[in-house]
Structure 1
Amino acid sequence: MMEEIREGQIAPDFTLPATGGNPVTLGQFQGKKVVLYFYPKDNTPA
């Protein structure tokens, strides 16, 4: 189970596929301002 991340906390480094399938790692943006936005899966009751 993953630990909850709260507003203002430093996010752990992670890698996810971006558009086109190329991986993007949060660490690539170190020293830059980044907004992380998460939303529930489409068509779910959240």
Structure 2
Amino acid sequence: MDQVANAHIAGLLFGAGQQEQTSVETDGRNLINKTIAYRNAGATALK
């Protein structure tokens, strides 16, 4: 994430590339929970 911030990227988008892949709606809140935990742990500051 430090490399992303250093590249001045303000956001990343995640989603299934194909229909049979896991999506936010079908992953049991895994992506949401990991994102919240990452933010609560301090995350990476925007530069």
- TM-score of the two chains, using structure 1 as the length reference: 0.21
Q: As a proportion of its length, which structure holds more strand? A: 1
Higher relative contact order (CA 8 A, sep 6+): 2
- TM-score of the two chains, using structure 2 as the length reference: 0.21
